[in-house]
Amino acid sequence: MPRYALKIEYHGAPFVGWQRQKGQTSVQGAVETALARLERRDHAIAAAGRTDAGVHALGQVAHCDMESEWDPFRLSEALNYHLKPAPVAIVACAPVADDWHARFSALERQYLFRILMRRAPATHQDGLVWQVKHDLDVQAMRTAAAHLIGRHDFTTFRSTICQAESPVKTLDQLNVTRVETPQGPEVHFDVRARSFLHNQVRSFVGTLERVGAGSWPAGQVAEALARRNRAACGPVCPPQGLYLAHVTYDADPFR
């Protein structure tokens, strides 16, 4: 069966997350339903990462197996037609080897988190950012974020329902940047690693926000990491500012 890689963009608000759940609206379910309109059978697709309810994607990657050979452009166009009106789009499609796997072939995942800093309610950005009404000290957050880079036991920043075998992960990048937008200043967190624990990025951002707001000294993040205790984590931030931005492979299938 020919295998195809799909690059997928979606707005996470209407969904319970990526993963198919019985009786619930999921991104995986939406794509599989669209595939079933093209080849009438049950489809099971695999993705590079499972995003939670309300989390968005700019560059989620999945693969599907088809019975017939499809022109990649035609396949993406047909899927987009059947995905309407769900806020899901196939932005690229490419044939891949039979043993290529969206999850297991991935070398790295990159997430973006956006905080909007303004008092007026968000309108155009509503549901796409975490809005705070106070200014944040970006330099203090950068200092605190540096304690998290590298290979650590991230138990403190791991959900209690995380199913990963080990809390030890290597964090390659956690950049904190202030970005001026027409809607107001934002803080962007660019986070990169081979893999992540459940709620790890949102735990990072919620904790670093406390540093930026002046409630935590930067050194308290290092202390929280060393405690290896979920109770030492700051508040977990809401999901709507989080995006799965990019997945890296040894050879980019969409190039």
Spatial contact of 62 and 48, defined as CB atoms under 8 Å apart: yes
Angle 80-102-32 from CA coordinates, rounded to 5°: 40
What does 129-185 look like in DSSP terms, one character per residue? SEEESS---HHHHHHHHGGG-EEEE-GGGS-TT---S-SEEEEEEEEEEEEEETTEE
- Nearest Cα neighbor of 61 from 116, 106, 15, 128 is 106
Bridging pattern class, strands 3-10 and 56-65: antiparallel
CA dihedral 101, 103, 108, 111 (to 10 degrees): 130
Half-sphere exposure of 187 (CA within 13 A, CB side): 26
Backbone angles phi, psi at 212, to 5 degrees: -60, -30
Using alpha carbons, list the distances in angstroms from residue 140 to 202, 208, 214, 222. 18, 9, 9, 13
One-letter amino acid at 101 equals H
- Catalytic residue numbers? 52
- Tokens 């309109």, located at residue: 37
